[in-house]
Structure formats: C-alpha cells, structure tokens
Amino acid sequence: METVILAGGTGTIGRDLAKLLVSEGFHVLIFTRSARSHQDSAHIEYLDWDPDKKRINNHAIQRADYIINLAGAGIADQRWTKKRRQELISSRVNSGNLIAEALQQIPNKVKTVISTSAVGWYGADKSANHMFKEHEEQGTDFLSWTCKLWEDSIKPVELLHKRIVILRLGVVFSKDGGALKQLIKSFKYKAATYLGSGKQKMSWIHIDDLCHLYLKAIRDNSLSGIFNAVSSEVLPQKTIIDRMAKQKIGNFYLPIYVPSFALKLALGQMGEEVLLTSTSASNQKIRDAGFTFKYPTLNEACIKNL
C-alpha cells in the first residue's frame, strides 16, 4: 500500500481528497497544526507540523511515496490588512520551503510532489475572449505575486530529480464549504445575490473533478509541470448564481446586487482582486494530457451534486 502525505489536509479539499485516496487503496498521512483534535482511522493518520517553526515529522517523510501540499490561509476569508497579506504569503511559502528542505535532508522514497497554486497567477483578463494558458506570465497584482512566491517555494524539489506537478486552481465548488457556500447563502431567503455587476467571469472546478485531478497527478508518471485546474466553462458570476438558483429555489427569487463600491469599501483590495476581477483560464492542457472532466459545465447534474 502506497502512502500519501496531505500537507494542510484538514480543509474542504483535503477531507474529500483523503476519502478518495483511501477508497483507491492509499494510506494517508495528514499534516496539520492540530493533530490532537482529529481522530485517526484505519488508513488516515493525523500528524503535527508547523511550517513557521520548521517542524515536520521526519518518519512520515521517510514513509511517503507522494506528497500533496494543500497548505495556505484562506484567500477570501477576511480583509487584506498588512498582517493578513503576510499570513497569506507565509502560510504558502513556508510550507513549500519546509517540504523542499525536508526532502533534501531526510532520506526518502518520495516519487512525486504535487503542489497547489491558483489561477490568480494571471491577474485580470486581458480581453473579452482571451483564455489564460499555463505558459503565460504572472499578473501584477497581489494575488499574482502570492502565486509566484507559492510556486517558487516548491521548485527546489526539481533539483532532487523528483516529479513535480503544480495545479492552478479556479474557484472550487463544493457543497461542504468554500466559496460556493458564501455565494448561495441568500438562497435560503429566496434571494440571489450578485457581486458588483455580476458580469465578472469566474474560472471554477467541481470538487470531485479536482480530487480526481490530484489522483491523476499521482498515478500518471507522464504528468509534470503546471496545469490549470478549471472546468471547460468559464462563466459570469451572475450566470452561475442564476443557474443554481433556478434549480435549487425555483424560477422566482429576489435579485440582490451588492454594488462594487460597497465591496471595495468593506473589503478593500481583497474585494477588488478576488470578488470583482475576471480571470478566464483554459483547461486545454490537462484535457490534452488525458483527463476527462465529470463536470465540464455547470449543468443540472453538476448543480445537483453541490
């Protein structure tokens, strides 16, 4: 039985991914800052680590065949104060640095390291019909530079002749948490909330497809480098909300627009970059690599599973 480390694996993605990996015959070691608050099971163990203090479980590194790094403070959880911006960067860079250093210093059999990034790398859309591809340069805003530092932190692993895969995630749609939960919160009041004009385009991916993408990155030895982890359908935020509202609460609901100026006033730079900026990313490269999406579009079957 092969062993996978999920670094920062207690969040929405980590929980679903751990279940999938166990069902596929892997043993999972989850690195977390609070291992004592979680209960081990037959094929899932929770182990303490602290990237800020450079603490890692050496024995786990020796046991692992694969490492998946999911660590990072929530981008849209709160306003970006100077302190919060530093937390967003350090939570990503310190974890990548620690994994790279551990693999350099500890004898191990790790074959592949799979790291996480975001389509925020690209910044705002260049034009109405442009779709960002993986070879394109980073944008110039804060989130772009965060992604650059994030990706660079794991690059030293390449010098160890290990396979590296970096997935640039779009907005992850899951019924158990994350951005979608906030977007559809008003549904319980028979209302649909649009942020700004609602015309800003969103690159997204269903949690099931994302977890299977990580699984493919483990199993497909030909896969290496950077891939956009997004569905085939980039949609305006209003279209996403309308499609989901019609299926979940019916054809009659109250539309509520939150003005752009209000979001900028309340949330500052975070509101501007995360909630109001269009980022359209292409998934052609991962499809060309043989990955088939279960939910390439936000159709009825997709929405029913959210």
In a domain, 113, yes or no: yes
In a domain, 187, yes or no: no
In a domain, 44, yes or no: yes
Q: What is the pLDDT of residue 29?
A: 98
Q: What is the pLDDT of residue 179?
A: 84
Q: What is the pLDDT of residue 182?
A: 85
In a domain, 300, yes or no: no
In a domain, 189, yes or no: no
In a domain, 126, yes or no: yes
**DSSP per-residue string spanning 256-306:** EEE-HHHHHHHHTHHIIIIIS----B--HHHHHTT---S-SS--HHHHHT-
CATH code for the domain of 25? 3.40.50.720
Mean pLDDT by 10 residues, the chain (306 residues): 96 96 98 92 95 95 98 92 96 97 97 97 92 96 96 95 97 89 91 95 97 98 97 97 95 94 93 94 98 97 93
Asked if 99 and 156 count as a contact pair (C-beta separation under 8 A), the reply is no
How many Cβ atoms from other residues are within 10 Å of residue 19's Cβ? 13
Task: Print the domain residue range for 290.
Answer: 3-174+203-230+280-294
Q: What is the pLDDT of residue 209?
A: 98
Q: What is the pLDDT of residue 177?
A: 79
Q: What is the pLDDT of residue 3?
A: 98
Q: Give the count of domains, the chain.
A: 1
pTM of the model: 0.96
**DSSP per-residue string spanning 157-193:** GGGGT-EEEEEEE-EEEBTTBSHHHHHTGGGGGTEEE
In a domain, 274, yes or no: no
In a domain, 59, yes or no: yes
Closest-CA residue to 109 (of 63, 49, 159): 63
